[in-house]
Structure 1
Amino acid sequence: MILLDGKATAATIRAEIKEEVTSLAARFGRRPGLAVVLVGNDPASQVYVRNKERACEDCGIVSMPHRLENASQLELEGLIQQLNRDVNVDGILVQLPLPKGLDSQRILDLIDPNKDVDGFHPVNVGKLSLGLPGFRPCTPAGVITLLKRYNLDPACKKAVVIGRSNIVGKPLAMMLSQSGPCANATVTLCHSRTADLKAECREADFVFAAIGVPGFVTADMVKEGAVVVDVGINRTDEGLAGDCDFEGLKDKVHAMTPVPGGVGPMTIAQLMVNTLEAYKLHVGA
């Protein structure tokens, strides 16, 4: 089995970004800037934000944290508008989920689409659906990049995506089915109402699990030699676990991502890629 090492791949990508950032900063007089907005004190969100800040440091990107213990809807909207106007801010990321009582979609809709490095703004979602250039959500884009780096091309193959979230499942299905590098797959998007999920998965050459249920995908659900990408990361009594039964699958599949160390690092690496692209768009590089 090929272990799809997202941690090592992400480190390579960060090194590539750092080299490009150094060159561009010497040319344009400033480094890329990423504003990360964290509201409340959710422990998991705090960990994610710290990881993103460390990645910025590795890449030479200026991290601009905005930690708010409490914020009203109007205060948060005002901050987003301020960041939209700030010429030193290239990317804006609002860490989700927001605390209860705040309207996440209204906040995401306010972000300048050219600074929407999470790829969640309706303009960028529309561009993705039409196959136009724009920012792609970081997790599915990171998955595609990981496949590219390991020369695993889903073209002309059957792919099953389990999970229909707006953050992972839907955009990943669109990206896999479009024309272009590491795409052109025949995609089935499965979910909780899929009639025979096991039968769908057993026909797939590529299986992507993004449902948030530990160990959901088992060996009897995939065919011999399939590529399995586990997007899930679940906190259990035994520690972090993916949506796939790694031990049960490892001797049956051709390639698979571990959890942790698979898709997670690629998500953050893609955020750095998107921030660099936003910077290049703003400075005219």
Structure 2
Amino acid sequence: MPIIDGSGLSRVLREELKNKAKDLKHNPLLAVILVGNDQESERYVKLKKRAVEEIGAQCQVHHLREATTAEVVALVNKLNQDTSVHGVLVQLPLPSGVDQDEVITAIKLSKDVDGFHPTNLGLGYSGQQVFTSCPSQAILDLVDEYIPTPRPRVLLIGDSLDLIKPLTSLFVGRQCPVTVLPEWQPWIDYSLYQVVVLENGSPRSVSGSMFADGSLVIDAGFHYLEGKACGIAVTADFESGVGPWLLPVPGGLGPLLITMLLANLVKAASRNG
């Protein structure tokens, strides 16, 4: 099956969101809290700010070079009470010494555009979450598009807060049989699953022949080899006209993540504006 073009899908969706943002009574406003001096986090925040502004919305970045848990929570509470702010995002990971759980739990549910609040995660089991985590929503949309089976068998390989844990609750909420493994295991028959999400595994170690024809393989493992980004799957193995679909690295889930954040922001503005 063909490779799924995440970058192309993202461009189309962002044009749609730009038009939706124009029609809102109030311009969507995202507040981002960045704690510490991690360069990778700073880079991600810049990408998010640029994407928000590209759809005509606004983004405020609150950069705390040094902060305690109490100081970060105080800022979250201030932004919760600001009616001009539609979404609050705390860039993860937080520095050691700052309690991530306490900070995330402090975000107002209606402004939790990252979808990481414990209540949002728990409501996923019944499909009643206010917001879905960005990578999870991207994957669910792809499953709806490419997998015709109402309750596909799902295999999730990983253990992350932003992807595997939310996906587990969401697929269970859809009454899908779900298997979760923290790491890639050679003894598993991967052809038994219609949806496979690869988060943990060695770079370029998985071939298309391991999966059933027509299944959907999501590569969510980001690695660098010889200075170039790559995933867990060997992308070339999936390029024939038959076999499984692949959302690759690069050009797959990455571009869709920020787009789903934009979708949640527009949704929040339409509800809270």
Structure 1 letter corresponding to 2:5: D
- C-alpha contact (below 8 Å) 1:154/1:185 kept by paired residues: no
- 2:7 equivalent in structure 1: 7
Change (3 A) 1:97 1:216: farther
- 2:57 equivalent in structure 1: 61
- 1:266 maps onto 2:261 in alignment: no
Gaps of 5+ in 2: none
2: CA distance between counterparts of 1:109 and 1:38?
A: 16
- The runs of at least 4 aligned residues of structure 1 exceeding 6 Å deviation read none
Q: 161, 170, 192: which is aligned to 1:166?
A: 161
- Tell me the C-alpha RMSD between the 2 structures: 2.1
- C-alpha contact (below 8 Å) 1:146/1:266 kept by paired residues: no
- 1:256 equivalent in structure 2: 246
Q: Secondary structure at the match of 1:214?
A: coil
CA offset at residue 63 of structure 1?
0.7
- 2:192 equivalent in structure 1: 203
- Structure 1 window deviating more from structure 2 (161-170 vs 55-64): it is 161-170
- C-alpha contact (below 8 Å) 2:125/2:172 kept by paired residues: no
* CA deviation map 1:120-172 (0-9, x unaligned): 11111121122214111111111122344x44334243221111322211221
TM-score for both structures, normalised by structure 1: 0.87
Gaps of 5+ in 1: none
Structure 2 letter corresponding to 1:9: L
CA offset at residue 83 of structure 1?
0.7
- 2:232 equivalent in structure 1: 243
2: CA distance between counterparts of 1:154 and 1:246?
A: 25
* CA deviation map 1:219-245 (0-9, x unaligned): 453234432111121233332111222
Count matched residues: 272
- 1:275 equivalent in structure 2: 265
- C-alpha contact (below 8 Å) 1:212/1:234 kept by paired residues: no
Change (3 A) 1:151 1:247: closer
Q: Secondary structure at the match of 1:2?
A: coil
- 1:19 maps onto 2:24 in alignment: no
- C-alpha contact (below 8 Å) 1:198/1:221 kept by paired residues: no
* CA deviation map 1:167-205 (0-9, x unaligned): 2112213323433xxxx543222223x8x5542423222
Change (3 A) 1:245 1:198: farther
Q: Secondary structure at the match of 1:256?
A: strand
Q: Secondary structure at the match of 1:52?
A: helix
- C-alpha contact (below 8 Å) 2:114/2:131 kept by paired residues: yes
- 1:155 equivalent in structure 2: 150
Q: Secondary structure at the match of 1:280?
A: helix
Alignment of 1:92-107 (within 5 A): 92-107=88-103
Q: Secondary structure at the match of 2:84?
A: coil
CA offset at residue 59 of structure 1?
1.4
2: CA distance between counterparts of 1:132 and 1:205?
A: 24
CA offset at residue 208 of structure 1?
1.1
Identity of aligned residues (%): 32
- 1:143 equivalent in structure 2: 139
- 1:111 equivalent in structure 2: 107
Q: Secondary structure at the match of 2:188?
A: helix
Structure 1 letter corresponding to 2:255: P
CA offset at residue 216 of structure 1?
4.1
Change (3 A) 1:199 1:143: same
Structure 1 letter corresponding to 2:164: G
- Structure 1 window deviating more from structure 2 (99-108 vs 205-214): it is 205-214
- Structure 1 window deviating more from structure 2 (54-63 vs 214-223): it is 214-223
2: CA distance between counterparts of 1:140 and 1:168?
A: 6
1: CA distance between counterparts of 2:92 and 2:179?
A: 27
1: CA distance between counterparts of 2:149 and 2:163?
A: 17
- 1:227 equivalent in structure 2: 216
TM-score for both structures, normalised by structure 2: 0.91
